[in-house]
Amino acid sequence: PHTPVCIIGAGPSGLLLARLLRLNGIDSVVLERRTRAHVEKRVRAGLLEQGTVEVLRDAGVGERLDREALVHEGFEWRLDGVVHRMPFTELCGASVWMYGQQEVVKDLLDAHGDGPGLHFGVEDVRIASVTADGARVVCTIDGQPTELTCDFIAGCDGFHGVSRQAVPGTELVGHELTHPFAWLGVLAAAPPLSPELIYAVGDRGFALQSMRSQQVSRLYLSVPPGEGVDERGDEEIWRELDLRLTGGRGTLPTGEILERVMVPLRSFVAEPFQYRRLFLVGDAAHIVPPSAAKGLNMAVADARHLAEALADWYAHGRREALDGYSATAVPRAWQGQQFSASMTTLMHAAPDETVFDRRLRRARFERLLSSTAEATAFAEQYTGIARR
Ligand code: FAD
Ligand code: DHB
């Protein structure tokens, strides 16, 4: 069979792209390796920038989000036990929304309904050829070996997917930076300690208090790289979180740990994001450390951009926007990288940190907390309005 656009991967970027194409009357086929249940339950990001929320509303999937998401106008820094509020909305006019990535995925799947072209449990996806006019993908759908031809491939299959691997090594350069920390994340049936996020930095290391609702918290601890996800017992995790977030007052609400995840702090950009008729979108093209919560937001920005470019092609035969996808999306990805790297180095002490480094970090915080210009620049990047 032939389809205009073959989308590999049903994460947020693939599903949003399919949705936006559909709204423009463009058919696509989505090939996802995992089951639908797995994709719906995969707990990951939770902070949506204002621009992301606007894209989701425009895509007709903003209704439950507008009803259930928690709108945030500031967060707290907790620096060596001292609390400072970062009132980002007051500073730059933009808010952020707390709403789980898997909820976004569910809303996109619901909007798709029983529509055609969405395949789960697809095995052995392989890009057989990509030329200047089209592409061929082979895979196994419902046990049936299948060959698809298409005008375009959207590689929305994440960091470990097959799309990026299909680009010849001479046509793609990967830039990577691995930070010497990881985050142990937990989702817990416990109310958040405070209604706003807390980014805590102190001698014991970094901790983040976030939430998914009034009853469910999302908490992260920085840990040495290479630590196993099950190395610490639940009690030890709660004790360490309480030490870093409250100074050991024992006031952090605890509850059942519903899910654990180990997130490596890694930065990666593959350049360019296009090879002939193959376009890389979201984590397939770039990943950021979670520090600034940019990964999902960057994926949404790419998907929207590619959808608009494809709509221009199919409606008007214009290829300028498609040809310009990489030239626009790559610098935007680097903006996401620089802010994510900057928050990462601000909030973490490297294992080999010197006293000089530590003083520099302290000085960066002092500027952020004393200069309105500096705080406003931070707020613009945190809420994403600086990247549009
Ligand atoms: P993905 O969500 O990775 O989706 C890719 C899809 O492709 C998946 O469904 C996968 O199963 C499928 N796929 C892969 N290979 C194949 C194949 N060969 N064939 C078919 N399908 C395939 N970002 C934040 O902003 N804040 C956070 O707190 C945060 N926490 C994270 C925690 C974890 C553990 C991880 C892994 C990421 C986190 N991120 C976070 C990043 C964010 O979740 C990603 O940036 C976002 O999921 C990117 O969306 P995507 O659709 O591009 O890729
Ligand atoms: C979340 C994750 C982040 O990395 C962050 O900076 C803020 C919130 C979260 O999962 O809620």
For residue 155, tell me if it sits in a domain: yes
Q: Which domain holds residue 242?
A: 180-264
- Residue 385: what pLDDT? 85
220 is catalytic: no
Q: Total structural domains in the chain? A: 2
205 plus 287 within the same structural domain: no
Contacts of 256 (CB under 8 A, 6+ apart): 188, 189, 190
For residue 63, tell me if it sits in a domain: yes
187 plus 197 within the same structural domain: yes
140 plus 201 within the same structural domain: no
Residue nearest to ligand 1 atom 32, measured at CA: 44
Per-position DSSP letters for 291-335, written without gaps between them: GG--HHHHHHHHHHHHHHHHHHHHHH---HHHHTHHHHHHHHHHH
| pLDDT per residue as tens digits for the range 45-74 | 999 999 999 999 999 999 999 999 999 999
Q: Which ligand is nearest to the CA of 52?
A: 1
17 plus 135 within the same structural domain: yes
Backbone angles phi, psi at 158, to 5 degrees: 75, 180
Pocket test for ligand 2, best of 181, 218, 221 (most atoms within 8 A of CB): 218
290 is catalytic: yes
Check if the beta carbon of residue 201 is closer than 8 Å to that of residue 344: no
For residue 388, tell me if it sits in a domain: no
Q: Is the pTM of this model over 0.80?
A: yes
Q: What is the CATH number of the domain that holds 220?
A: 3.30.9.10
For residue 115, tell me if it sits in a domain: yes
pLDDT band, residue 388 (cuts 50/70/90): low
22 plus 160 within the same structural domain: yes
8 plus 126 within the same structural domain: yes
Contacts of 30 (CB under 8 A, 6+ apart): 7, 8, 9, 10, 14, 15, 18, 117, 118, 119
Phi-psi region for residue 116, left (φ > 0), alpha (ψ -120 to 50) or beta? beta
Q: Which ligand is nearest to the CA of 97?
A: 2
107 plus 170 within the same structural domain: yes
235 plus 208 within the same structural domain: yes
- Locate the ligand 2 atom nearest the alpha carbon of residue 212 and give its number: 11
283 plus 166 within the same structural domain: yes
- Residue 386: what pLDDT? 74
161 plus 290 within the same structural domain: yes
150 plus 259 within the same structural domain: no
Q: How many CA atoms lie within 13 A of 99 on its CB side?
A: 28
**Taking the alpha carbons of 236, 237, 239, 244 in that order, is the dihedral positive or negative?**
positive
